[in-house]
Amino acid sequence: MTKSDVSDFFESQSERSRIKSEIVKGYWSFYLTFMASKIKSGSVGGIGFFDLFCGKGVYDDGSESTPIKVIKSVIEKGIDKKKLVMVFADAEEDVVSEFERNVDRIENVESIRESIHIIHHRTGKSMVDWIRGVKLPPTFFFIDPFGYKGISLDLILAATESFGCDCIFFFNYNRINMSIKNKSLLIPVNEFLGEDLAESLRERIERACNPHERRSIILEAIFSVLRDNKRYVFPFTFSFESERKISHDIMLVTKHPIGVGAFKDVASKFGFMSEDEIPTYEFCDADRSLFPLLSEFSKTLDDLKGHLLRKYAGKRLTIKEIFEDDQQYGPFVRKNYKRAVIELEQHGAIKCIPAIGTKGRPSRNGVPTAGDGVVVTFP
Domains and CATH numbers, the chain: 3-297 (3.40.50.150), 307-377 (1.10.10)
Determine the pLDDT at residue 214: 82
Residue 147 is predicted with a pLDDT of 66
* 56 within 8 A of 102, measured Cβ to Cβ: yes
CA 176, CA 185: separation in Å to the nearest integer? 10
Per-residue confidence (pLDDT) for residue 168, from 0 to 100: 97
Q: Which residues pair with 155 in a beta bridge?
A: none
What SS3 class is residue 341? Answer: helix
Give residue 280's pLDDT.
86
Cβ distance 265 to 256 under 8 Å? Answer: no
Distance of CA 28 to the CA centre of its chain: 10
Task: Note the pLDDT of residue 12.
Answer: 62
The pTM for the full model equals: 0.89
What's the pLDDT at 68? Answer: 97
pLDDT given for residue 36 in this prediction: 94
State the DSSP string of 29-85.
Answer: HHHHHHHHHHHHHTSSS-EEEEETT---SB-TTS-B-HHHHHHHHHHHHT--GGGEE
Is 203:177 a contact under the CB 8 Å cutoff? Answer: no
pLDDT of residue 240: 64
Asked if 338 and 319 count as a contact pair (C-beta separation under 8 A), the reply is yes
Give the pLDDT of residue 241.
56
Regions of the chain short of the pLDDT cut 50:
1-9, 286-291
| Cα 296 versus chain centre, distance | 16
- Give residue-wise pLDDT tens across range 251-306: 999 999 999 999 999 999 998 888 889 998 988 754 444 445 566 777 899 999 99
